[in-house]
Amino acid sequence: MTRRHDLTDAQWFDPERYKLEEKGLIERAVDPADTRARRLRVTDRGAEVAQRAIEAVEAADAAFFAGTDAAAVIRTLKPLAGR
């Protein structure tokens, strides 16, 4: 069984956080309410990259499903979803 990643799981998130920080996509700052804690913030560059990624995924979805009959797809998927 595949374990679903949880962003609160430091063992998974720390290596990923370092990669995102190195690329300038996120930054850490001291939490003003608790100086022991750090807050993550998406940088302007990170927000731009995320927006471009969303647009790329939406374009890929549109291209993949172009010309399909939405009603037929829904009829096919409903039994798989147990509905």
**37 exposed, middle or buried (CB, 10 Å; 0-12, 13-18, 19+)?**
exposed
Residues of the chain with pLDDT under 70: 1-13
Please report the pLDDT score of residue 6 as a whole number: 53
DSSP letter assigned to residue 5: P
pLDDT at 56: 98
- Please report the pLDDT score of residue 4 as a whole number: 52
Q: Is the pTM of this model over 0.75?
A: no
Question: What's the pLDDT score for residue 23?
Answer: 96
Using CB atoms within 10 Å of the CB of residue 73, give its burial: 0 to 12 exposed, 13 to 18 middle, 19+ buried. Answer: exposed
Structure confidence at residue 15 (pLDDT): 86
- The percentage of the chain sitting over the pLDDT mark of 90, rounded to a whole number, equals 63
